[in-house]
Amino acid sequence: MLSFKSSSVPLLGLDVSSSAVKLLQLSQAGGVYRVEHFAVEPLAPNAVADNNIEQPESVGQAIARACKRANARAKCCAVAVAGSAVITKVITMPSDLSEKDLEGQIDLEAEQHIPYPREEVNLDFTVLGEVEGNPEVMNVLLAASRSENVDTRVGAAELGGLSVKVVDVEAFAAANAFEIIASDEKIGEDECVVVIDVGALLTSMIVVQGGRTVYSREQGFGGRQLTDEIMRRYGLSFEEAGEAKRRGGLPDTYEDEVLEPFKDAMVQQVSRSLQFFFSTSEHDSVSRVMLAGGCATIPGIDRICEEQIGVPVSVANPLAGMALAPRIDEERLREDAPALMVACGLALRNFD
């Protein structure tokens, strides 16, 4: 199952990253979204590696804990697979095809673009719209992933007590959440905006313009490098280092000896990501950069990035304009919000 179709039942956005399970449920009334439930539950160091769930039972237990912590009663969820595990292709089709005929044509096209046997692949498609200047032809986005990539996430969710109704792609989910930010911050259709999500092991970059993702890329850099250095330098366990990184309590030398070098490395990574984008596309500038992921909350990192790359940089918060249910811890949500881009995009699938 790889499904872009929306769901008619309440959905939890469930993002299983390399470091944590992130859970979010939204409601909507009068055009206003409201955060109903959310939780971030840490994962064991090797539960997820290279975008693969290596310890399904451990991940399932974390999902169950997240549901309990969030007091979420919904039993259906939307999950996402990493962009590196997905083949995407925009193909053109006659606009007058019926849905049944379109599905048949998609299967034929898939055989040409996917280097795996059809029975080993989950795929889905979505119609993007007519080709500009030619209403007889439409663009269709085809996405396919090895079944094992989908099945492990579905299986982990089921171990956690949830049923998967939608399977998305992480980059598409992040772009979905960006639409909320674009609306709240009145970002123009013609603006070229970069969202860089610095996770524990991977940095994901999407470039959005005109409501469409025009570029995406993943690189091997993340906050785990900071955690590992804290462990090495101060003799802490993985759990202790992660908690100290978030809550403080490290020696006075931490800022200069550990955090500052990591900030420099992160800024360099952002700069290199932009330069790579410029060198592989027709773009030579962007209007702004948004930082997401847990590392985006490092104090002052947006200002340092802005000074280095010379364009406005801000911290992404797709939940900033939303109402909050009474049970929500506002301070904790504000801390976690930059890391909830994918979970937010998945939760929004309930309202497509």
Residue 323 has pLDDT above 80, yes or no: yes
First-to-final CA distance of the chain? 19
Contact (CB, 8 A) for 62 and 41: yes
Dist. CA 275–CA 205, nearest whole Å:
12
| Alpha helices (H) along 120-237 | 147-159, 170-184, 224-234
Beta strands in 183-240 (DSSP E): 192-198, 203-209, 212-219
Name the DSSP class of 259: I
Dist. CA 23–CA 69, nearest whole Å:
10
For the chain, give every domain's residue range.
Answer: 11-84+148-228+252-351, 87-147
- Average pLDDT of the chain? 90
Name the DSSP class of 12: E
Q: What are phi and psi of 164, to 5 degrees?
A: -85, 125
Cβ burial, residue 165 (10 Å; 0-12/13-18/19+): buried
37-83: per-residue pLDDT in tens?
A: 999 999 988 899 888 899 999 999 999 999 999 999 999 999 999 87
| pLDDT value of residue 330 | 94
- Classify 120 as helix, strand or coil: helix
Q: What angle do CA 131, 132, 138 make, to 5 degrees?
A: 15
Beta strands 76-81 and 163-169: pairing type?
parallel
| Cross-strand pairs, 146 | 121
| pLDDT value of residue 320 | 94
Please report, rounded to a whole number, the percentage of residues in the chain having pLDDT higher than 70.
98
- pTM here? 0.88
Specify the CATH class of 87-147 in words: alpha beta
User: What is the CATH architecture of 11-84+148-228+252-351?
Assistant: 2-Layer Sandwich (3.30)
Residue 336 CB partners (closer than 8 Å, separation 6+): 22, 38, 40
217-231: per-residue pLDDT in tens?
A: 988 999 999 999 999
- Classify 310 as helix, strand or coil: coil
Dist. CA 24–CA 37, nearest whole Å:
6
| Alpha helices (H) along the chain | 56-70, 99-113, 147-159, 170-184, 224-234, 238-247, 254, 260-279, 301-309, 330-336, 341-347
Contact (CB, 8 A) for 269 and 219: yes
140-179: per-residue pLDDT in tens?
A: 888 888 888 899 999 999 999 999 999 999 998 999 999 9
Read off the tokens for 101. 């005929």
Q: How many C-beta neighbours within 10 Å does residue 189 have? A: 8
14 compared with 4, residue with greater pLDDT:
14
